[in-house]
């Protein structure tokens, strides 16, 4: 850089600082000090290294900027003013206001944002997914830049991400860490010990580059080295929180605190006053992704014989093989592909299969990054272990990302492995995610159909699969729609409705047989779509059976199938005589049938509950 370029970049950094103060003071809240520390880093990156057409944010060859330290949103929004996509008026009068797109933490309501950030440790995992898309799928030269805070580096997901970035050799991936020493309540764990940070980064196989985060020329050199390192790089920038404002520089107690108007005015004058510098980023190259989506591709679906015993987790794998015909479908698995069924896809489309090993947060975050690039990621692990990554699932819902999650080994049905492996909270957690779809098929035919249907669902879609092999009960041509259900058994004389899903559908059918031996006819409903739920079918069944309904589920009672059914029919105006059977005690090892019996959700318990309702 020559002296003129250094001066111009420094002037831009000062403007970013001023506008970060102005916007947060106007809003009366925000994180100006965290913005001030990273201003020099962003000024150099945006003008000298990032290839981006700000007027065409969806251009395939644009670089990607993931602002993982989303609380410093005044800084990124100030950059948007400098590049001309956000006006001064919008920045100063709408930031953090109701209904505005400049929210407290960035979300994709802004076209320059790939995904919502603010949950620390998320942005770097998503960046790995975007970098995988660029190097392995799109085969385009765009670079992924992730800006993190130093407090963020205590999150385990950061190190999961760096480990997998190294494993996959993501030379198009650079993390810039704003090491400003101060966290929310005081000093960070390592403070300004860049050597300690560097040792950790290098231990995970990435290049560590230390730099003075306020030396424009040194930052420029560091980013250049990072982009050409030939492997993932982490730029560790020593910065000062509140840089440029003497009254608050490196002072505790200023995190997340907007400057009062008097102090803001003094700070702005100290920084040289308000300016209106306009800049642009480097022009991205021409190019198109190597993979073109084909949502209308003809798929070769598996067909099963009635009565054939197949686990729905294996049917999940069969469906993925069929979905390999859609080039935009990719698969991730957390080193359990032989249990979840995912490895079936590996055998037919290895170039679109990503092993994340036992790193569930990275898997879900990377799935979000792949979805941001237009791919349809299916990510699988045991249903219980999605709880580790639930925050990132939640953030995908906020971003509106179309990720598909498959949780195997559901409920006490898994048998002798014991309670640590039993997914018994998963339906509740996934139902709670904004805009989610939650599916729980019973047999292989319905599982395949729903896995296929998930591909085109909006938002987060979760499918719960069963470990054990159970008979196919639906013909190969049976249709299954998200939001539907199936009445598996019915008659005009039905006295009670039995609702199940997954394993409890089979137990409900067996209970119906027990009731039939007593001369009691029972209607059986397969509630395979837990969210959205088939209100019409459930209310019709309830009304047809005198309001008597038994719902059984291999799940804890809170937030699962029973509550979904009850809330749906009550909101529809039906007042049922309702019995809810669920797993209410801590389980243990045993055979599946022993555990279903012990939990009170087996056929005999369902039949007893039905009799009790009928004889009230």
The span from the CA of 200 to the CA of 99, in Å, is 42
Which of these, 29, 576, 291, 180, lies nearest to 21 by C-alpha position?
29
Average pLDDT of the segment spanning 523-550? 97
Nearest 5°: the CA angle 391, 392, 394 is 65
**Cβ contacts of 99 within 8 Å, gap of 6 or more:** none
DSSP string of 345-358?
Answer: HHHH-GGGEEE--S
Average pLDDT of the chain is 97
Average pLDDT of the segment spanning 426-446? 98
* Three-state secondary structure string covering 28-43: CCCCHHHHHHHHHHHH
Average pLDDT of the segment spanning 16-22? 98
Give the pLDDT band of residue 582 (cuts 50, 70, 90). very high
In 49-177, where does DSSP find H-type helix?
Answer: 73-82, 88-94, 122-132, 156-167
Q: What pLDDT score does 615 carry?
A: 84
DSSP string of 400-468?
Answer: T---EEEEESBSGGG-TT-GGG-B-SHHHHHHHSTT-EEE---SHHHHHHHHHHHTT-SS-EEEE--SS
The span from the CA of 20 to the CA of 27, in Å, is 11
Which of these, 372, 335, 460, lies nearest to 146 by C-alpha position?
372
In 117-254, where does DSSP find H-type helix?
Answer: 122-132, 156-167, 194-203, 216-227
Contact indicator for 116, 395 with CB cutoff of 8 Å: yes
Q: What pLDDT score does 575 carry?
A: 85
| Strand 329-333 versus strand 376-382 pairing type | parallel
Nearest 5°: the CA angle 213, 214, 217 is 95
Marked catalytic residue, from 152, 355, 360, 563? 360
Which of these, 547, 550, 509, 555, lies nearest to 530 by C-alpha position?
555
Q: Per residue in 449-507, pLDDT tens?
A: 999 999 999 999 999 999 999 999 999 999 999 999 999 999 999 999 999 999 999 99
Q: Per residue in 87-125, pLDDT tens?
A: 999 999 999 999 999 999 999 999 999 999 999 999 999
Decide: helix, strand or coil at residue 149.
strand
Q: What pLDDT score does 616 carry?
A: 66
Helix (H) or strand (E) holding 549: strand 548-552
Alpha-carbon dihedral angle through residues 535, 440, 108, 330, given to the nearest 10 degrees: -140
Which of these, 321, 319, 312, 315, lies nearest to 347 by C-alpha position?
321
Alpha-carbon dihedral angle through residues 448, 393, 533, 505, given to the nearest 10 degrees: 50
Which domains does the chain possess?
3-270 (3.40.50.970), 309-471 (3.40.50.970), 486-614 (3.40.50.920)
Is residue 360 part of the annotated active site? The answer reads yes
Contact indicator for 616, 586 with CB cutoff of 8 Å: no
Q: Per residue in 590-613, pLDDT tens?
A: 999 999 999 999 999 999 999 999
**Cβ contacts of 334 within 8 Å, gap of 6 or more:** 356, 357, 358, 359, 360, 363, 379, 380, 381, 385
Contact indicator for 229, 207 with CB cutoff of 8 Å: yes
Walk across the sheet containing 233-238 and list its strands.
64-67, 144-149, 173-179, 233-238, 207-212
Which of these, 495, 535, 511, lies nearest to 606 by C-alpha position?
511
Longest C-alpha distance within the chain, in Å?
Answer: 94
Q: How does 364-376 read in b/e, with b if 16+ C-beta sit within 10 Å? A: bbbbbbbbbbbbb
Q: Per residue in 505-520, pLDDT tens?
A: 999 999 999 999 999 9
Average pLDDT of the segment spanning 79-90? 98
CA end-to-end span of the chain? 86
Contact indicator for 490, 522 with CB cutoff of 8 Å: no
Helix (H) or strand (E) holding 551: strand 548-552
Q: How many residues does the chain have?
A: 616
Contact indicator for 390, 428 with CB cutoff of 8 Å: no
Q: Is the pLDDT of residue 27 over 90?
A: yes
Q: What pLDDT score does 483 carry?
A: 98
Q: Per residue in 140-160, pLDDT tens?
A: 999 999 999 999 999 999 999
Q: Which residues pair with 591 in a beta bridge?
A: none
Average pLDDT of the segment spanning 54-79? 98
């Amino acid at each position: 850089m020559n002296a003129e370029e250094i001066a111009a970049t420094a002037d831009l950094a000062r403007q970013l600082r001023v506008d970060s103060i102005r916007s947060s003071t106007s809003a009366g809240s925000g994180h100006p000090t965290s913005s001030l520390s990273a201003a020099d880093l962003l000024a150099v990156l945006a003008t000298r290294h990032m290839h981006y057409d700000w007027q065409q944010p969806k251009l395939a060859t644009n670089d990607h900027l993931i602002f993982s330290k989303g609380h410093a949103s005044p800084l990124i929004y100030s950059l948007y003013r400098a590049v001309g996509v956000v006006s001064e008026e919008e920045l100063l009068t709408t930031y953090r206001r109701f209904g505005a797109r400049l929210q407290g933490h960035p979300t994709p309501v802004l076209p320059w944002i790939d995904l919502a950030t603010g949950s620390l440790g998320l942005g770097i995992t998503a960046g790995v997914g975007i970098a995988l898309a660029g190097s392995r799928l799109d085969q385009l030269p765009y670079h992924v830049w992730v800006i993190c805070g130093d407090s963020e580096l205590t999150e385990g997901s950061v190190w999961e991400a760096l480990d997998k970035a190294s494993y996959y050799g993501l030379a198009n991936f650079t993390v810039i860490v704003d090491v400003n020493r101060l966290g929310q309540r005081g000093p960070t764990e390592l403070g300004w010990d860049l050597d300690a940070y560097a040792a950790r980064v290098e231990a995970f196989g990435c290049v560590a580059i230390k730099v003075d985060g306020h030396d424009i020329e040194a930052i420029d050199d560091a980013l250049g080295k990072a982009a050409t390192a030939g492997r993932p790089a982490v730029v560790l920038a020593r910065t000062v929180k509140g840089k440029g404002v003497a009254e608050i520089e490196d002072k505790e107690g200023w995190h997340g605190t907007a400057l009062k108007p008097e102090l803001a005015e003094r700070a702005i004058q100290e920084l040289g006053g308000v300016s209106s510098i306009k800049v642009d980023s480097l022009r991205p190259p021409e190019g198109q992704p190597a993979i073109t989506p084909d949502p209308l591709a003809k798929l070769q679906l598996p067909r099963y014989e009635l009565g054939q015993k197949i686990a729905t987790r294996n049917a999940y794998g069969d469906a993925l093989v069929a979905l390999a015909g859609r080039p935009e479908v990719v698969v991730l698995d957390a080193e359990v592909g032989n249990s979840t069924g995912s490895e079936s896809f590996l055998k037919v489309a290895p170039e679109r299969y990503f092993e994340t090993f036992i790193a569930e947060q990275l898997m879900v975050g990377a799935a979000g990054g792949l979805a941001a690039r237009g791919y349809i990621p299916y990510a699988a692990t045991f249903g219980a272990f999605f709880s580790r990554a639930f925050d990132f699932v939640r953030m995908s819902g906020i971003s509106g990302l179309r990720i598909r999650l498959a949780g195997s080994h559901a409920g006490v049905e898994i048998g002798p492995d014991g309670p640590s492996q039993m997914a018994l909270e998963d339906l509740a957690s996934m139902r709670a995610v904004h805009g989610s779809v939650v599916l729980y098929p019973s047999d292989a035919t319905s599982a395949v159909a729903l896995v296929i249907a998930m591909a085109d669902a909006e938002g987060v879609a979760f499918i719960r699969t069963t470990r054990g092999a159970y008979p196919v009960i639906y013909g190969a041509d049976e249709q299954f729609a998200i939001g539907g259900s199936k009445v598996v058994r019915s008659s005009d004389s039905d006295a009670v409705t039995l609702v199940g899903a997954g394993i409890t559908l089979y137990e409900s059918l067996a209970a119906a047989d027990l009731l039939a031996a007593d001369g009691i006819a029972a209607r059986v409903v397969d509630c395979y779509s837990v969210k959205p739920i088939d209100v019409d079918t459930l209310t019709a069944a309830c009304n047809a059976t005198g309001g008597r309904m038994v719902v059984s589920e291999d799940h804890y009672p809170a937030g699962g199938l029973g509550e979904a059914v009850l809330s749906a029919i009550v909101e529809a105006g039906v007042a049922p005589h309702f019995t809810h059977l669920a797993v209410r005690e801590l389980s243990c090892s045993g055979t599946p049938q022993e555990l279903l019996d012990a939990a009170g959700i087996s056929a005999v318990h369902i039949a007893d509950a039905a009799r009790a309702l009928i004889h009230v």
